[in-house]
Amino acid sequence: MRILVVEDNERLSSVIAKLLADGGFAVDVAPDGDSALAALRLAGYDLVLLDLTLPGIDGLAVLRRMRSDHLATPVVVVTARSEVVQRVQLLDAGADDYLVKPFSMDELIARVRAVLRRPAHMADDVLSAGNVSLETKSLTLTIGGVGVEASRREIGVLETLLRNLGRLVAKRKLADAVYSFDQEFTPNAVEVAVSRLRKRLQAHDAAVSITAMRGLGYVLTDQ
Amino acid sequence: MTDAAAPATPAAPATLPARTLQRILAVRIVLVCLAASVGLTAYVGTIYFLDVPELRQRTLALVAETVVDALARGKDPGAWPPFRAHPDAYGARVFDRRSVENRKLVTEINPQVLPPLHAPGSAASEYDITEGLVALPAGSAPGAPDRWIYTDHFDVAGHSYWVQTAMIGDPTWVWWGIMEKEMRDHVMVPLLFLMPALMLAILLTIRRSLEPLTRVSRRAASLTRAIESGTTPAPLPVERLPAEVRDLVVAVNGMSASLEQLFRRHKQFASDVAHELRTPLAVMLLETGRLPPSPERETIAGEVQDLIRIVNQLLRLAQAEDAMLRERAPLDIVPAVRKVCEEMADRAMASRQTIEFDAPEFPVTVFGHPTLIEIAVTNVLDNAIRLSPKGSVIAVSVGSGGEVTVDDSGPGIPDAHKARIFERYWRGDAPRSPRGNAGGSGIGLDLVSRIVRLHDGAARVEDRPGGSGARFVLRFGPPDRPAVARAARLRRLRSPASA
């Protein structure tokens, strides 16, 4: 996996490059927008880590240029500003995710992995965490290498949770996943599906767990 | 307990209600007009009083008219009280109008006051029947008072008569009647008509002249409000102002513009600094993560976390000050608080903490600004996550009256500090953080209390019921809203389903 880090602060770009290299990625660094666009034209990257405040062409312009050139490389924007308006603007401009400075090493790696895990950007369409993996096309679930049967609702919940590993998934998002499989309405369908999935994961010694945050949603964490 | 959240703004200086310039001018001008009327009356009176022959003539003419009036109505002219009361002071006689030689005396009252009448046919004396006013001594003794004689002719019932009146002194002040009449006819009545018109004209003139000033002063209030809330103040209108006021208004406009610019630069500065700090903080955070584990690394990592928190709080402060300028509107706070909980959930997960969120299923409408409410709840939740132990539960709930409650499992707040915890830069002596460092900048809870006050609400802290920890209650809106009763009813109705 090759990542382009676009960051004008040399110290920050070097530490990010080192961390990503430690995480097994090949990393190139571009200090400004022009060199970033040049690098993108020359080599194929699996992900771009794009700082917004750059000398010359700024990050948002780079992102827009990439998208207008039909360059589909996933982009994680790094910003020092956390205003909601800006986040919405970024996602609208075609960013896949964002990181607000300052971020920890775990956050950086998790966000990069989460974006790379998205099927649109992956060859094998497999979502995995711990010893759990889910084939998103055939919807086959394996825990510790063993195939496990699960209901479509449970698979739907697990898929959504896997795509947001380590992050809270709001209940309404899970409800969308559950109801996309059938139209039958039951108010506690999400709770039922999660509770069944939890039992199933436990029964097969899965190395992941689902934490409930009452009134908010669920988080899948790998141990 | 809500004392902590009581407004800390200084009370308005206790001044007497200022009177308007318009009123001051009106009152003073009315007083000046009244004084002028009195002065005019006195002046006219003095003129009359000093012109003795004129006053005497008018007095005697009045006496003559009284006599003629009595004759015309067939009454006894001698019945007039002054004739009776002062037979030695007032007198009158009436002739049939003929030549002096052929005149015929019609009536005579108090003849001793009058000059002696010459017998018919004898030569007439010079005062005998001279038309007009004559003054001659009343007696031969020196210093005797003047005797005034007045002769005039009148027509009564188609006949012409000569009337001669005389008086020595004026013991019953008949002249006063003259004065009264003169005053009434020539001073009082004109003034009575003139004064209201004049005053009305003056009042209208004052009002009209002060209108631009009134307009400016009305707008000045909005200027102060704009500067207080940080919005761009509209300059005061300068057109049609008198020169001296215009200079003042131009100066005020200049001052408010530079004040506003200063505020904006100050806010921008805080925001810029906080943003600039984020990149070096990111480097520090990532580099410490790469250090081999050691107590020193933990210390540095802790300090970096504190710095990040302070920078985040500064940013929220700048953001809140920006949001405070915007108009508030009715909004449902449940989604706003839920959004904060969702955003903070990842932070809580990092310490294996969970957040529980409880809210009514109906909208809880408050009059406010979503960004501000989010910032206030974020600050309180941020503290709760930081101070609660690993693996604990932080409970957030929204009450139907618009209050947000955050229960943490931290060390709690000692009673002595509960009242002061919302003050700016106040951090307490006792370390709250498990690391032995409060780590607070002292601006977070101050901002919280400012925000709830802006929403006519209050913030308070108490012990978490049934467990260790603190409970922060933020009420966004005035207390005792009628929604509470409705909410309780709804909850009863729903309770079997929501178990």
* Boundaries of every domain in chain B: 2-10+18-49+180-229, 78-168, 230-323, 326-494
Same domain (yes/no): A107, A134? no
Same domain (yes/no): A130, A116? no
Q: Is the pLDDT of residue B497 over 60?
A: no
Residues B359, A9: C-beta atoms closer than 8 Å = no
Residues A82, B355: C-beta atoms closer than 8 Å = no
Same domain (yes/no): A115, A164? no
Confidence of residue B431 (pLDDT cuts 50, 70, 90): very low
Which of A54, A89, A121 marks a domain boundary? A121
Give the closest of A82, A102, A219 to B282, CB-based: A102
Same domain (yes/no): A185, A83? no
Same domain (yes/no): A113, A9? yes
Residues B357, A215: C-beta atoms closer than 8 Å = yes
Give dist(CA B383, CA B376) in Å, integer. 11
Q: Could you give the strand order of the β-sheet that contains B393-398, starting from the edge strand earlier in sequence?
A: B354-358, B393-398, B403-407, B470-475, B458-463
Mutate to test the interface with A, among B285, B315, B334, B494 (most CBs of A within 10 A): B285
Residues A102, B341: C-beta atoms closer than 8 Å = no
The answer to whether A67 and A59 are in contact (CB under 8 A) is no
Q: Whats the size of chain A, residue-wise? A: 223
A121 touches chain B (CB under 8 A): no
How much is the pLDDT for A37?
Answer: 92
- In A89-165 the beta strands, taken as DSSP E runs, fall at 97-100, 126-129, 132-135, 140-143, 146-148
Give dist(CA B235, CA B251) in Å, integer. 11
Q: Is the pLDDT of residue B343 over 80?
A: yes
Average pLDDT over residues B83-94: 88
pTM: 0.60
How much is the pLDDT for A182?
Answer: 59
Q: Among residues A145, A161, A160, A142, which one has the least CA distance to residue A200?
A: A142
Q: Is the pLDDT of residue A28 over 90?
A: yes
Residues A219, B345: C-beta atoms closer than 8 Å = yes
Same domain (yes/no): A22, A90? yes
Q: Is the pLDDT of residue B38 over 50?
A: yes
Who's near B339: CB < 8 A, 6+ residues apart? B374
Contacts of B286 in chain A (CB under 8 A): 12, 15-16, 19, 102-105, 108
Same domain (yes/no): A157, A101? no
Q: Is the pLDDT of residue B22 over 60?
A: yes
Average pLDDT over residues B441-468: 85
Lowest-pLDDT range of A125-129, A154-158, B224-228, B254-258: B224-228
Lowest-pLDDT range of B184-198, B314-328, B332-346, B482-496: B482-496
Domain extent for A210: 126-222
CATH code for the structural domain at B230-323: 1.10.287.130
Lowest-pLDDT range of B205-219, B231-245, B354-368: B231-245
| Conformation bin of residue B180: beta by default, left when phi > 0, alpha when psi is -120 to 50 | alpha
Same domain (yes/no): A8, A84? yes
Residues A16, B349: C-beta atoms closer than 8 Å = no
Q: Which residue has the tokens 């933020």?
A: B474
Give the closest of B286, B338, B355 to A16, CB-based: B286
Torsion of CA B417, B421, B426, B427, to 10 degrees: 70
Residues A215, B289: C-beta atoms closer than 8 Å = no
The answer to whether B147 and B168 are in contact (CB under 8 A) is yes
Give dist(CA B45, CA B35) in Å, integer. 15
Same domain (yes/no): A155, A47? no
Residue A82: give its domain's CATH number.
Answer: 3.40.50.2300
Handedness of CA B385, B387, B392, B398 (dihedral sign): negative
How much is the pLDDT for B392?
Answer: 92
Nearest chain B CA: its distance from A157 CA (Å):
18
Q: Is the pLDDT of residue B117 over 90?
A: no
Which of A95, A121, A147 marks a domain boundary? A121
B341 touches chain A (CB under 8 A): yes
Q: Structural domain tally of chain A?
A: 2
Which of A121, A141, A173 marks a domain boundary? A121
B359 touches chain A (CB under 8 A): yes
Average pLDDT over residues B388-415: 91
Give dist(CA B178, CA B59) in Å, integer. 7
Average pLDDT over residues A205-221: 91
Q: Which comes out higher in pLDDT, residue B101 or A179?
A: A179
Contacts of A213 in chain B (CB under 8 A): 341, 345, 354-357
How much is the pLDDT for A185?
Answer: 62
Contacts of B293 in chain A (CB under 8 A): none
Average pLDDT over residues B239-258: 85
Confidence of residue B99 (pLDDT cuts 50, 70, 90): low
Give dist(CA B260, CA B393) in Å, integer. 45
Amino acid in position B66: T
Residues A166, B281: C-beta atoms closer than 8 Å = no
Cα B449 off chain centre by: 31
Spell out the alpha helix ranges (H) of B51-117. 52-72, 81-85
Confidence of residue B424 (pLDDT cuts 50, 70, 90): low
How much is the pLDDT for B134?
Answer: 79
Give dist(CA A201, CA B369) in Å, integer. 43
Residues A215, B342: C-beta atoms closer than 8 Å = no
The answer to whether B452 and B460 are in contact (CB under 8 A) is no
How much is the pLDDT for A175?
Answer: 85
How far CA B124 is from CA of A93, B101, B135, B147, in Å, comes to 130, 8, 17, 19
Percent of chain B with pLDDT over 70: 82
Who's near A134: CB < 8 A, 6+ residues apart? A126, A127, A128, A140, A141, A142, A155, A158, A159, A162
B286 touches chain A (CB under 8 A): yes
Q: Is the pLDDT of residue A170 over 70?
A: yes
B355 touches chain A (CB under 8 A): yes
Give dist(CA B331, CA B314) in Å, integer. 26
Average pLDDT over residues B19-25: 82
Average pLDDT over residues A193-201: 92
Residues 157-176 of A with CB under 8 A from B: 166-168, 170
Lowest-pLDDT range of A216-220, B319-323, B431-435, B489-493: B431-435
Confidence of residue B491 (pLDDT cuts 50, 70, 90): low
pLDDT in tens, B220-247: 877 777 766 666 778 888 887 888 888 8
Handedness of CA B448, B449, B451, B457 (dihedral sign): positive
The answer to whether B289 and B248 are in contact (CB under 8 A) is no
Task: Please say whether the structural domain B326-494 has been given the CATH code 3.30.565.10.
Answer: yes
How much is the pLDDT for A197?
Answer: 93
Give dist(CA A1, CA B242) in Å, integer. 76
Q: Which residue has the tokens 């607000």?
A: A100
B375 three-class SS: helix
CA triple B368-B373-B376, angle to 5 deg: 140
How much is the pLDDT for A23?
Answer: 85
Give dist(CA B453, CA B476) in Å, integer. 8
Residue A148: give its domain's CATH number.
Answer: 1.10.10.10
How much is the pLDDT for B351?
Answer: 85
Confidence of residue B130 (pLDDT cuts 50, 70, 90): low
Exposed (0-12), middle (13-18) or buried (19+): which is B200, by Cβ within 10 Å?
exposed
Average pLDDT over residues A11-32: 92
Mutate to test the interface with B, among A107, A167, A168 (most CBs of B within 10 A): A168
Average pLDDT over residues A68-86: 80
Same domain (yes/no): A95, A130? no
Same domain (yes/no): A54, A163? no
Same domain (yes/no): A108, A173? no
